[in-house]
A = this chain, B = another copy of it.
């Protein structure tokens, strides 16, 4: 027992003294050392635990101070008679006959959807999941500093009191003046409510604005938590398709009362709602008299180009109810979010919040307020965006390199995840299950669909929890698995219909030519080969990215090496020309294809 009691744990973050103290208190509390009994000597305990005797002496002294032990001269330490406040004498617990709870429950809330990846996801080498905490991005030292400041005597007095319905004025002001303006939103303090994460903002809105008579329209695929809330409120649900420009505004049914959207990066496809669609949505809200719920869960991770202004910032009539949180940029466990809307609605949401839980914990509000006011948020966002941008670019590169003919992805502008569609025959659940066995986690996407006729070939890859250097090997491994599992016959060189080029025809056709293709992200690319063995490449609608490289022939194969594209590695291909298309094969399998034309 004693040995079992004192399993000291070097990983828990507690000092030896703290651990010993914790376990001794437990042992006293559960009667292992009964009141009045003599404790083992500090020497004996120290020997048993293999710690310095002084360590045990300090623990005993602390336990005397705190009223657990008393020291008797020359006799040692004894457990106090009443080491803990009186425990109530209660009859032993009877085996309860179970009530039939079905008779008492007025409603059964939907069971929250299980996560699509295991709890120990961080033990996997390739966790392509989204929205989880990445300790390497958490601003540990600044957060500690602000926590310490929030534990100053004056600060404690401020936050520890019952603040009734008020939020921390510092946090509200910082959100108002530093966070919202980056999304183009101007708001007064009475238009802002702090919430326990963004889920609470959404619950408050739904509880205020939706009942059995309400028609709620939302994106399909879309955020499953929203579908559950619609179900909880008993409202009617309309699913509206999403394309490369976001929700298809024209398809929103007449009579919709509430329209829920994720414009910044649509959940789960990560596409950004286009500016024209934004204007159209607002105009339609006005014409059809519906309200818009804007879920800006990711807010600022739109690092690739200038982000679009939030719908809320374009909203002339107060129809847009906006919410976001610090879960993605700081840590989900803190549960701090905010709701922005017209003052009369916010006042009602504040009243409802009070009935539900009074207010979000004020110590966390104060810590975050200090964090923002001391400029740590800006610094953290720069770091976070730089890191996510690097990872996202790496994922894009890897997908183009390893799976170019296999998948297409949604066109995204930044964000921390990538929505992928494989060949129609792909079973994404089977692929995910097999991938997990090889250390690769990715999210099958059935849960995002409200319509039971879910496509089986889509999946989502996230980069918010995987280090950059793991992305390439993860995708390489995934590609191997993908082809091994794929039922789709991969196009083979020996069944190809065009003309297989040999050393001679390769030189003839390729010496001065252009390839026009499309990346897995749907962006166009253009590559020019020159007679001197150099080449240039451009990618993107506005040639946003470019690179140069070398090409040459070895026997019947065409070789190329970019400066930075495709990891700057040498790669050789067999080449087939089929009318105006060029096809590249490696090991007899099709790798990529493009339109081909001669230059000059």
Chain A interface (Cβ < 8 Å from any Cβ of B): 11-14, 18, 21-22, 25-26, 29-30, 63, 66-68, 83-91, 93-94, 96-99, 101, 104-112, 114-115, 122, 131-133, 135, 138, 140, 143-144, 147-149, 151-157, 159-165, 177-178, 181-186, 195-197, 199-200, 203, 207-211, 214, 225, 228-229, 232, 257, 291, 300, 306-310, 313-319, 327, 331-336, 342, 344-345, 348, 351-352, 354-364, 370, 373-376, 378-379, 381-382, 385
Contact = CB atoms under 8 A, between A and B. Distances in A.
A317 B96 contact: yes
Contacts of A333: 159-163, 361-363
Nearest to A210: B106
Contact of A183 (B22, B88, B138): B88
B183 A160 contact: no
A96 B160 contact: no
Nearest to A384: B85
Nearest to A173: B26
Contacts of A140: 151, 153, 156
Given A208-B105, A317-B96, A66 B153 contact: no
A135 B153 contact: yes
A355 B133 contact: no
Nearest to A88: B184
Contacts of A184: 87-90
B84 A378 contact: yes
A88 B306 contact: yes
Given A111-B351, A160-B331, A335-B360, 4 more contacts: A13-B153, A84-B178, A132-B161, A132-B162
Contacts of A22: 373-375
Nearest to A145: B18
B306 A348 contact: no
Contact of A157 (B106, B135, B162): B135
B177 A160 contact: no
Contact of A382 (B67, B147, B335, B364): B67
A185 B186 CA distance: 51
Contact of A133 (B160, B314, B327, B382): B160
Given A66-B379, A106-B210, A147 B151 contact: yes
A66 B374 CA distance: 11
Contacts of A18: 149, 374
Contacts of A378: 25, 66-68, 83-85
Given A138-B156, A357-B335, A363-B333, A87 B317 contact: no
Given A333-B160, A342-B96, A185 B133 contact: no
Report how many copies the assembly holds: 2
Contacts of A157: 122, 133, 135
A322 to B, nearest CB: 13
A342 B99 contact: yes
A347 to B, nearest CB: 9
A66 B361 contact: no
Contact of A318 (B98, B131, B331, B348): B98
Given A67-B379, A101-B344, A101-B345, A355 B87 contact: no
B316 A348 contact: no
B313 A90 contact: yes
Contact of A335 (B84, B94, B186, B359): B359
A157 B86 CA distance: 36
Residue from A63, A83, A89, A147 whose CB has the most chain B CB atoms within 10 Å: A147
Nearest to A82: B382
Contacts of A225: 355
Nearest to A25: B375
Contact of A94 (B200, B316, B356): B316
Contacts of A199: 354-358
A354 B147 contact: no
Nearest to A465: B161
Contacts of A94: 316
Contacts of A313: 88, 90-91
Contacts of A66: 375-376, 378-379
Contact of A88 (B162, B308, B379, B381): B308
A292 to B, nearest CB: 12
A200 B356 CA distance: 5
B319 A99 contact: yes
25 contacts: A11-B154, A25-B373, A25-B374, A29-B178, A66-B378, A85-B182, A85-B382, A88-B313, A89-B306, A90-B314, A96-B317, A104-B291, A106-B209, A109-B208, A112-B164, A112-B165, A122-B157, A133-B161, A161-B333, A228-B355, A232-B355, A333-B362, A334-B362, A335-B357, A335-B362
A156 to B, nearest CB: 6
A13 B361 contact: no
Contacts of A359: 335
Contacts of A211: 106-107
B344 A89 contact: no
Given A101-B345, A135-B157, A382-B67, A355 B88 contact: no
Closest 7 CB pairs of A and B: A90-B184, A13-B152, A160-B331, A88-B184, A162-B332, A333-B362, A90-B313
